[in-house]
Amino acid sequence: MRNLSKLKKTILISVFAGFTLLFFSFQDDLFQISKNLDIFASIYKELNMSYVDDVNSAKIIKTGIDAMLENLDPYTEYVPESDVEDYKMKYVSTQYGGIGAGVFYRNGKVYISDVFEGFPAQKADIRAGDEIVSIDGIPLQGKKSEQVSLLLKGPRETAVKIIIGREGKNMDKNIFRAEISQPNVSYYGLMGNNVGYIKLDKFLENSGQEVKNALLDLKKSNPTGIVLDLRYNGGGILQEAVKIVNLFVTKDVEVVLQKGRNKEKNINYKTYIQPVDAQIPLIILVNNRSASASEIVAGSLQDLDRAVIIGQQSFGKGLVQQTFNLPYNSLVKITVAKYYTPSGRCIQALDYTHRAQDGAVNKFSDSLKTEFKTKNGRSVYDGSGIYPDVYIAPYTYHQITQSLLSKYLLFDYASSFVQKNPQILPAKDFHLSDTDYASFVAYLSNKDYSYQTETEAMLQTLLKQAEKEKTYTELKTELETLKTKVYLTKKDDLTQYKPEIKRVLESEIVQRYYYDKGKAQQAFQYDNELKEAIKLLNNKANYNAILIGENKYKVIGKPGKMLVQED
């Protein structure tokens, strides 16, 4: 009894000591918070009262807040009241009041980049390539992007007067704004061999329902499989990702686990209803711009061996953000947790917690990456995005094509093409003729599309090194001969890379007539990842072999250095 009493006494003392330490730790935290806030407020007060020039209070506070958050991660951010509506449109809702057109800036002027089908801008015959000269009598020369955005947007059914410039002439356009609702699913339809295809651009409100509607419509045609395209999808609302996984996975299956420092942020998201189809063969397309919610969908379906992932390694964003309301209608978005796919892996690629001394953020090293197992025992890895089951090397444009794009020469020629051609063949059938391409080459004759090839850059380095080592005189003849040969080779690039340039120019032209849906249809013929997906869905043996780890596709090399070959 004495020993038992002594034990109880020891436990009580230990518990008391623990609470005492916790109390003092809590008190110390409160003191530090109070102390630092007092210092911050005092500095702000003295600046406001004593600084030599007038101080913009809102700007200086925002600068201070931004600097504080910058040391954390790029997803933790302060949103002042003036930016809240734009924030909600970008991260939450697909709806806003406007005319239905995108804009870009060039040489201090504002131009229409694209027009959304069925909305006021298209109905008013505003076209891609038109310059916006003024909005409601306000000239746009020198205006910032947010200023132009505010002028174009407004409550639906309100009038806006726009003056546009086209081919040297100004035209008045009187437009009534409408509710602009941009779908999350920008395209869906049947591909070759009766394969269903769904292109999901973002995970904003209603994206789960949009994918479901597309899937139900495609199922009416009894497709041989479904391709869900998440390439260039930067993510959005986590719960929408869970809904989309639930379309293909049975009820009460873990999709993603959210874990944070605050235990209240620990949430285990599971499928909660019966799926639309838990059996149909499924392929997910990803690339290095697929992030966040895209990676939750791809990673969960990969871990559950429910889908084959095709494409390139995804972005690697394994962090979860939550928005908190602040006084005076402002917001703060804070990273509150990391997420883990069903195998237990976190795919976060950058280590924001352990920065280098200069503040640089490093990737998690290969030595720190851990192997996890899918439901069927396949190996998957943490620390660097989603590795595809079938890797397809990304297509890289030659420098001449990049130059034609960056200098808007393809864009401008498409604008002039539309003026001369009232209509073209349907998007999937349209091709530029050799005569059309010759016309484009002639159009470039007095345009600057200069660019430097890798060979030229290396040669330039060689010339500088020869001069530095005082060997240029001896090598001059050989170097000049090489320089001439490089120039002559480059001169033929418009011919040598004609198929590639035509491909991009056709896409630019098709979008003017058939908008985003037409652009998607026209691009299918060049889509290597989609072709591989259709091929795999029509070879059930290979498809099933991948999901049980006995595929004919061999991953060679370390994660992130993958090559794929077929036996």
Q: Which residue has the tokens 């719960």?
A: 239
Contact (CB, 8 A) for 155 and 484: no
- Integer Cα distance of 174 and 125 in angstroms: 11
Q: How many CB atoms lie within 10 A of CB 133?
A: 17
Helix (H, G, I), strand (E, B) or coil at 423: coil
The number of CA neighbours under 13 Å toward the Cβ of 290 is 29
CA 90 from centroid of its chain's CA atoms: 12
Two tokens, residue 213 = 């509607």
Nearest to 152 by CA among 128, 120, 186, 184: 120
Nearby residues of 541 by Cβ (< 8 Å), 6 or more positions away:
none
Q: Rounded to 5 degrees, what angle do the CA atoms 440, 441, 446 make?
A: 105
Q: Which of 114, 201, 229, 303 is catalytic?
A: 303
Q: Which of 143, 199, 317, 490 is catalytic?
A: 317
Spell out the alpha helix ranges (H) of 352-408: 399-406
Contact (CB, 8 A) for 112 and 129: yes
Nearest to 102 by CA among 110, 92, 90: 110
Greatest CA separation for the chain: 104
Our CA dihedral for 444, 446, 448, 454, rounded to 10 degrees, sits at 60
Q: Rounded to 5 degrees, what angle do the CA atoms 539, 545, 549 make?
A: 150
Contact (CB, 8 A) for 282 and 309: no
Nearest to 503 by CA among 437, 438, 422: 437
Asked about 50 being catalytic, the answer comes back as no
Nearby residues of 65 by Cβ (< 8 Å), 6 or more positions away:
78
Helix/strand/coil percent split, the chain, to 5? 45, 20, 35
Asked about 294 being catalytic, the answer comes back as no
Task: Compute the chain's Rg from CA coordinates.
Answer: 29
Nearby residues of 440 by Cβ (< 8 Å), 6 or more positions away:
413, 432, 501, 505
Distances in Å between the alpha carbon of 500 and those of 81, 392, 410, 490?
A: 46, 18, 12, 15
- Integer Cα distance of 291 and 299 in angstroms: 11
Distances in Å between the alpha carbon of 15 and those of 10, 23, 27, 406?
A: 9, 12, 18, 67
Beta strand pairing status for 390-391 and 308-311?
A: parallel
Q: Which of 186, 207, 290, 292 is catalytic?
A: 292
Nearest to 135 by CA among 105, 104, 169, 159: 159
Asked about 86 being catalytic, the answer comes back as no
As annotated, the active-site residues are 292, 303, 317
